[in-house]
Chains A and B, each alone.
Chain A
Amino acid sequence: MNKNHRVPSNRTLSTVEVKSKFGAEFRRFSLDRSKPGKFDEFYGLLQHVHRIPNVDLLVGYADMQGDLLPINNDDNYHKAISTAAPLLRLFLQRKEEADYAAFGTNSLTRKKTPAVLAAVLLRPEANRKKPPIIISLPRDFRPVSSIIDVDILPETHRRVRLYKHGQEKPLGFYIRDGSSVRVTPQGLEKVPGIFISRMVPGGLAESTGLLAVNDEVLEVNGIEVAGKSLDQVTDMMIANSHNLIVTVKPANQRNNVVRHSNNSGSGSGGVTSGSSGRSTDSGASFYGYSAPGATAMAPTHIIQNFRSEEMESDEDDEDLVIEAGGEARPIAMVAAGAAASSSMPSLPRYEPHLNLRPPNGAMSGSASAGSLSTTDRGLDRRSLEEDGTVITL
């Protein structure tokens, strides 16, 4: 799966300066950017420079956005090297003492650590005796998509959120006009609708596996598309592209979330109930930075509900202002919205999962996500594609 990893060639510096921190100690050394080598060698090197040959380590680095991201395989190691500009800051932890919650989006900048969540994640009581099964670090990756609002939507519908995060990958899908048949008191009625007509290979939409050709688009960011023209819907989607939430009626209804069933938890439709009582399965796919062109790495299940204030997401308010002679700075919301925005996240955050059960049962801790590709729903769905009009009941 690392065939398609690419090192951006725009960096001209041949060496990477590394500053590694373990406990209170720092080590500085440099690496050849063009020949970073394997992760195992690097791991050995770290143990060597810190002189802790027998300590199991969890390696993390600070990425450009200031997030703490893990290094645990060749891919994310290469990513870390290639994006270091020019200093690569490493944070080493003992594996048994690791604070997993520290990883993830906004992790370095965020002030308050959600202690409750950390407890849930690690379940220290339950896991003290047996070694924790580390499937993967839940916050190793930024979310690229999620299913949201499962508890309030009809089972036949699916609300999908695509996180653009300013990454290079295209959203990558096309929509078209079509018609769907609905049951009304007057009988069957053909109504115009908007459908997904094509997926761009390698695009965000395809890689999530949550959208498929011939899915009917019902809403865009909470606004119904009924009565709107194809061009209008296109413009709405593009206007919301930084934080696109589409509600679709999947053409293939077999993978729908089934509610109120027991903790069967197996297969792709696995369902559990969360502590809140609103519960769900939701396939959220995550993107590791390690493999920008690869398929989803670890489809971890995440429950998420869409909050109204996120609808008004102000992410797009990060307009860039360049003052004469000065540096670029993003604009923050001021004045009227100031009080509100300080308590509101400026980036869309996702709630941590309440349930970590992987779809295919437990996995070994070091499992790289490649082995999970069998659960890629996108593949399933494509093989079950249906053509023609879709009957809505």
Chain B
Amino acid sequence: MKRFRRHGHDSQRDKLKQELYQFNKSVEHGFPHQPSALAYSPDLDLLAIGTRSGAIKLYGAPGVEFMGLHDENATVTQVHFLPHQLELVTLLDDNSLHMWTLRAHQGVSELLEVGRFTLTGPPGAPPSVTRVTTVLAHSSGELLLLGTEGGHVFVVEVPGFRELEERNISVEDIQARIPEEYVPRRNLECVEALHEKPLNPNQVLIGYGRGLMVLWDLERQCAIQHFLGTQQLESVWWMEDGEHILSSHSDGSYCCWLTTGGDVQSEPEKQDTPYGSFPCKAISKVLQFPTKQGPPFLIFSGGMPRASYGDRHCISVIHSKTHIALDFTSRIIDFFVIREGEQHTGDPSALVVLVEEELVVVDLLTDGWPVIQTPYLVPLHCSAITCSHHVSSIPFKLWERILAAGDVQNTHYSNKPWPITGGQNLAREPPQRDLLLTGHEDGTVRFWDASGVCLHPMYKLSTAGVFHTDGDPNDNLNQGAEGEWPPFRKVGCFDPYSDDPRLGIQKIHLCKYSGILTVAGTAGQILVLELNDEMAEQVVPATVVDLLQGQDGFRWKGHTRLDVREEPVSFPAGFQPFALVQCQPPAVITAIALHSEWKLVAFGTSHGFGVYDYQQKSNVFARCTLNPSDQLAMEGPLSRVKSIKKSLRQSFRRIRRSRVSMRKHQTANAAKLQELNAKLEAEALQEMELAPVQRRIEARSSDDSFTGLVRTLYFADSFITDSTHCTPSLWAGTNGGAVFAYMLRLPPVERRMEDPVTGSQAKEIQLMHRAPVVGLAILDGRGVPLPEPLEVAHDLARSPDMLASHHLLVISEEQFKLFTLPKVSTKTKLKLTAIDGSRVRRVGVALFGSSRVEDYGENGLVVLTNQGELHVISLPAIKMQVHHPCIRREDVSGIASCVFTKYGQGFYLISPSEFERFSLSARWVVEPRCLVESPNIPSTVVDPTKTRCLGDGYDGSDIRRGNDNEVLQEIQKSLEGDQMGHADNNIKPSGE
């Protein structure tokens, strides 16, 4: 064939490929893994979160989001927005400061790092002198005050990061004026807090670790007032009037100081330990806001009695007579309060709390302080994700019904709109409604709106109600007995503890046309559910299917079957189960398929597969695929066998590692010898971990473990026995490279309820290379994959070509093979493993639309390999089209979690709580497109002379370049973004 190919053919094809395929990772959904810092800009109305992996994420109105990543892989410890500007400063735990800006480019803002800076101390000074502990972004927008571990405050001009040495406030300057009798005078410890005085930006309050607070005048360069606190200082808060200061302390108390008095205040005006008498934990942050009506809001974190509630993660809110301790399920990172009004100076309206695993927003305006549902940053992992399933282009009717079912569940949320509204979302409306379904360890299935940038929760289905479980849902975990102290209230939905691991969801399949959903779980249970708009009370009939089919010598050592409730169970509106299949042995379900037109569900485990008729609620047939010599499959759940080995190995490694690292961290005068020893040990360890890794080279044999495990199931209407009549069929692929084809006989529609459905084996294919079969598909006469059930009936797909012969596509981990039908013989194949050593992990069929021609599209296979590479393979030619590295190959769970859409996009987990969305299609990319404009700046803040001289050259050059229309736009933009312009010029030289 090659020699007949004309010149130019390739380049034409290349051009077409460019119109069809384009790879990018567009957006991260979910909650950032290991957040470490929080900031909020009232001017921009944006929220910023820094993470331990060095990422910084900005969120505004739904759809407005930005992400940046520091080159250093260090924890972001603090984030500060520069007041009235588009800039923000991050502090990493390697003591470097980074300047980020939101720059508009072609009408869309981008988050860019524009400068970095590390404090340099005087020569010979210990590192603690310059170790930054606190950052104050001064309201002038031109200064950063950096408090350090050594007790100094450095003043740096921004955005250029120029140190203003003459304005530094050294600890000696402070100490010189402290009264002699103040005990901690000798060692003030680190700067714990820096606060600008409200209404007077020239005065700054400096709080030191040992409790001293000093009011410093930046203009006159001297201390004005001293507050001689004696408790270890945790945080400081200026009241709005500028006359009172709140300080919180490590003993669980907070103090109120008056600033109108004399130079030295040795006693606070008021002191209180809210959860007092017994020793309490520190109050790490305290805030107070006045209200128009009178009583202020006092909000603080921590302060719990150490012995009884020391392990709780609490924020207390006190307003008038109401006092609630919000009890979070994970550690509190930080919190802030949003205030009402244009300028955010009114009553506090919402409390925004970032905890380790979720973001919680409490509505402070509504009675009872309900939680506001977050439109983004949703905790995907409130129970660990065990599987996911994507359904593209949901019909509007079904969408509405799911939304309605979800609304019923969300009544406990506040009605208030989302309070963070910065930026404009410029992204187009998504062209279709997409659903992402995630199965969780606790037996729930969550429905997410995955159409756009915001992964929005729609509806949550719980399957636990069908079964008797250890943890009865009735014993509600204490909603606080009357008069309990502290007055706890549970907030947040992160709950990683599962009552019964057998409830875990393993496979999901939703038919978007009929609204039939099947979910399958860890204990061999398969539920068939139907969408019902009303609540219902019903018994779920269970059918036990023996997959062993008389195979003897079997001993199941795994978990037992779930215990089904025999009495009627009340199900809320939404998806309600109406049939249940339980496999025996109750091994984890490894494959399911649903055919809503035939009303059949196929399911497979490591022992075999079966077909269930959910119309008649009876089993059609079961087939055992077990190899009698396969000990592992015979005995128990594979997860256990593997995980014990793995976890043992890992824990040993961890122990070894921690020993080494402990030794490395001994900084105090470690003898050189010891250090050397540790180093040697580490090296030896490294060698040891490298050396013994070896892999056995052996051909696969039929005696390998889990050869009978069913990997894939597929319903198809095709020519299975002869080339003139197409018949319904079920295809199953196993781990041992076998494909079984069953012919199904369905009674005519009018007798569907009475006559049984039958199945008989028609074919069996044993792949010579014995690699696991991971995908099956049948291509019609035109080479197009057969449509989904009911797709043609709903006029959403062309009916398949039944004139020309069909082909069976078998995708094993190692190769792609096309067989003729009904007589099975190889037509084409593509080897993958033999050529580049990678294996197919995930595969999906997708339609790639051309980005140039509206009605041109090609079908293709989307493949993810164990090397983390994505491939597109054309159909029916089976030729490699493009490939892109996507996931690190070490990220096994990321690769395993990948799910493809029908249009060339996909999702995978980048952490337990975040999905990364990627796209291989050039037609449609879901990515954030948003604009954040510079806040309205009070004219006094910006020095006009400076703006002009710096802006000149920048603007001029741009104008000369563009043509008329662009020039106007450019001028407009440069006027708007004037500040950014000069910031840019200013910063460039200091970058790097």
- The reply to whether the CB of A229 lies closer than 8 angstroms to some CB of chain B is yes
What 15 new A-B contacts, CB under 8 Å, besides A174-B696, A234-B696, A237-B697?
A170-B699, A173-B696, A176-B691, A197-B694, A228-B837, A233-B837, A235-B837, A239-B831, A239-B834, A242-B768, A320-B765, A324-B721, A324-B761, A334-B820, A335-B820
Q: Are B763 and A175 in contact (CB under 8 A)?
A: no
If A319-B826, A331-B826 touch, whether A175 touches B695 (CB-CB below 8 Å) is yes
* Residues of B participating in the A interface, judged by any CB pair closer than 8 Å: 690-700, 721, 743, 760-769, 771, 814-815, 817, 819-820, 824-829, 831, 833-839, 866-867, 889
Q: Are A236 and B837 in contact (CB under 8 A)?
A: yes
- Whole-angstrom distance between the alpha carbons of A176 and B689 in the complex? 12
Which B residue's beta carbon lies closest to that of A175?
B695
Min Cβ gap B584→A in Å is: 27
Identify which of A170, A177, A331 contacts B825 (C-beta below 8 A): A331
- The reply to whether the CB of A201 lies closer than 8 angstroms to some CB of chain B is no
Proximity bits, A238-257, B CB within 8 Å = 1, else 0: 11111010000000000000
- Whole-angstrom distance between the alpha carbons of A322 and B827 in the complex? 18
Complex A-B: 21 CB contacts under 8 Å: A170-B699, A175-B695, A220-B837, A223-B836, A231-B695, A231-B837, A234-B697, A235-B833, A235-B837, A235-B838, A236-B835, A238-B833, A239-B815, A239-B834, A241-B697, A242-B699, A321-B763, A321-B825, A322-B764, A333-B826, A336-B828
Contacts of B839 in A (CB 8 A): 235
If A223-B835, A321-B824, A335-B827 touch, whether A238 touches B766 (CB-CB below 8 Å) is no
Q: Are B836 and A171 in contact (CB under 8 A)?
A: no
A-side interface size class: 35 or more
Min Cβ gap B3→A in Å is: 14
- The reply to whether the CB of A232 lies closer than 8 angstroms to some CB of chain B is yes
Q: Are B828 and A242 in contact (CB under 8 A)?
A: no
Min Cβ gap A340→B in Å is: 11
Binds B, one of A48-56, A92-100, A310-318: A310-318
Q: Are A230 and B693 in contact (CB under 8 A)?
A: yes
If A242-B768, A319-B766, A331-B825 touch, whether A177 touches B760 (CB-CB below 8 Å) is no
Contacts of A241 in B (CB 8 A): 697-700
- Whole-angstrom distance between the alpha carbons of A330 and B245 in the complex? 87
Contacts of B766 in A (CB 8 A): 319-322
- Whole-angstrom distance between the alpha carbons of A323 and B761 in the complex? 8
Contacts of B815 in A (CB 8 A): 239
Q: Are B697 and A238 in contact (CB under 8 A)?
A: yes
A-B contacts counted at CB < 8 A amount to 137
- Whole-angstrom distance between the alpha carbons of A229 and B695 in the complex? 11
Q: Are A238 and B768 in contact (CB under 8 A)?
A: no
Contacts of B867 in A (CB 8 A): 229, 232
- The reply to whether the CB of A66 lies closer than 8 angstroms to some CB of chain B is no
Q: Are A176 and B693 in contact (CB under 8 A)?
A: yes
- Whole-angstrom distance between the alpha carbons of A336 and B763 in the complex? 24
Chain A contacts with B in 301-348, Cβ cutoff 8 A: 315-324, 331-337
Contacts of B768 in A (CB 8 A): 242, 315-320
Which B residue's beta carbon lies closest to that of A334?
B825
Contacts of A221 in B (CB 8 A): 834
- The reply to whether the CB of A164 lies closer than 8 angstroms to some CB of chain B is yes
Q: Are A336 and B694 in contact (CB under 8 A)?
A: no
- Whole-angstrom distance between the alpha carbons of A238 and B826 in the complex? 21
Min Cβ gap B837→A in Å is: 3
Q: Are A174 and B695 in contact (CB under 8 A)?
A: yes
Q: Are B698 and A170 in contact (CB under 8 A)?
A: yes
Most buried by A among B690, B695, B763, B866: B695
- Whole-angstrom distance between the alpha carbons of A320 and B762 in the complex? 14
Contacts of B721 in A (CB 8 A): 324
Identify which of B697, B764, B769, B834 contacts A173 (C-beta below 8 A): B697
Contacts of A171 in B (CB 8 A): 697-699
Q: Are B695 and A232 in contact (CB under 8 A)?
A: no
Min Cβ gap A234→B in Å is: 4
Contacts of B824 in A (CB 8 A): 321, 331
List the 5 shortest-distance A-B pairs measured between CB atoms, nearest first. Answer: A232-B837, A241-B699, A239-B833, A320-B766, A234-B695
Min Cβ gap B758→A in Å is: 14
Min Cβ gap B345→A in Å is: 59
Contacts of A230 in B (CB 8 A): 693, 695
- The reply to whether the CB of A182 lies closer than 8 angstroms to some CB of chain B is no
Identify which of A244, A315, A323 contacts B763 (C-beta below 8 A): A323
